[in-house]
Amino acid sequence: MTLSTVRIIAGLTLKEAARRKVLRSLAVLTAVLLGLSAWGFWRLDIEFGTLTSGESRLAASQVLNLVMFGLSLIAALGTAFLAGPTVSGEVESGVALAMMTRPVRRSAVLAGKWLGLVTFGAGYIVLTGLAQFLIVKATLGYWPPHPIAGLLLLAAQTAVLLTLGLLLSTAIAPMASGIIAVGLFGATWIAGVVGAVGEELHNESVAQVGTVSRMILPTDGLWRGAMHAFQDPAAVQFAATFGASPFLSMVPTPVAYVGWAAVWTALILALAALSFQRRDL
């Protein structure tokens, strides 16, 4: 019964995502981003026609990371604003009342919502990411070294953020939870950049900022892993000589860190289930 509840609610969540305006706005934003990037890569090819193949690969991988950041931002915003209102919005509107009096466990309903949102977010990342890779391949002839691993890390980043959004949505008002989730996401990214600057300057306490924030909310750490999978391996040596950039990752993400992200997600989801269980509807 519990498993079938999870399946039913996951299907319902996907249907909701497909039918609501969020999907249309997401599609428009993505089309704009993909179109702009296609145009940009095409111009890049013309402008930098004089670059050596190594230089142009370097440029392509840098710009690809920049565009992928845009994509991950759209995915994060989209899913956070889908996840944020899901529980509290349904409680406020009354949609939850009739549903929760069915023979269902609240934790199963929450797990179903999570599964639906993760499927939606991951599907979006994989589809648009692949489209973006094809654009770069067609315009600049660049293909990332680990496309699948990178996309999975990006999908994991989306999952982490929407899990946080789900937890917030069991406790606070609909829009506030979306805004807080996105705010934290942005803050962690900035803390990650600050940490990278600290590493560059060999200032340990500043570098700690990035490390700590990456442990508290694993979005930025996963994003850095994804970047590393997308970028040209030569970029790291190049950066060692000429200095780092926010769209360059010096080291791949350790497996242990991915494990931590999984544990983090499970913990937050359990906390969300507990908070939803205790809530009066």
Partner 1 sequence: MTGSLEAAAQLVAELPPAAAVWCSGLRKRYRRQTAVDDVSFTVRRGEVVGLLGPNGAGKTTAIKILLGLVRPDAGEVLLLGRPVTDPNARARVGYLPELFRYQPWLSAAEVLDLHVKLSGAAVPAGERRDCLALVGLADRAGDRVGGFSKGMQQRLGLAVALVARPELVVLDEPTSALDPLGRADVRDLLLTLRERDVAVLLNSHLIGEVERVCDRVVILDKGRVAASGTLEELLGQQEVRLRLSALGPDALSRIAALGRSSRDGDVHTVLLPPDAPADAVPDLVADLVALGVRVHAVEPGRISLEERLLDILRGETE
Residues that bind partner 1 (CB under 8 A): 1, 4-5, 8, 12, 15-16, 19-20, 93-95, 97-105, 278, 280-281
Return d(Cα 278, Cα 255) in angstroms, integer.
35
Q: Which is nearer to partner 1, 68 or 96 (CB)?
A: 96
Q: Which is nearer to partner 1, 99 or 173 (CB)?
A: 99
Q: How far is the CB of 127 from partner 1 (least distance, A)?
A: 22
Q: Which is nearer to partner 1, 20 or 43 (CB)?
A: 20
What is each CA distance from 236 to 56, 151, 169, 233, 239, in whole angstroms?
Answer: 15, 20, 40, 6, 5
Q: How far is the CB of 32 from partner 1 (least distance, A)?
A: 25
Q: How far is the CB of 166 from partner 1 (least distance, A)?
A: 18
Q: Which is nearer to partner 1, 23 or 33 (CB)?
A: 23
Q: How far is the CB of 84 from partner 1 (least distance, A)?
A: 17
Q: Which is nearer to partner 1, 99 or 206 (CB)?
A: 99
Q: How far is the CB of 26 from partner 1 (least distance, A)?
A: 15
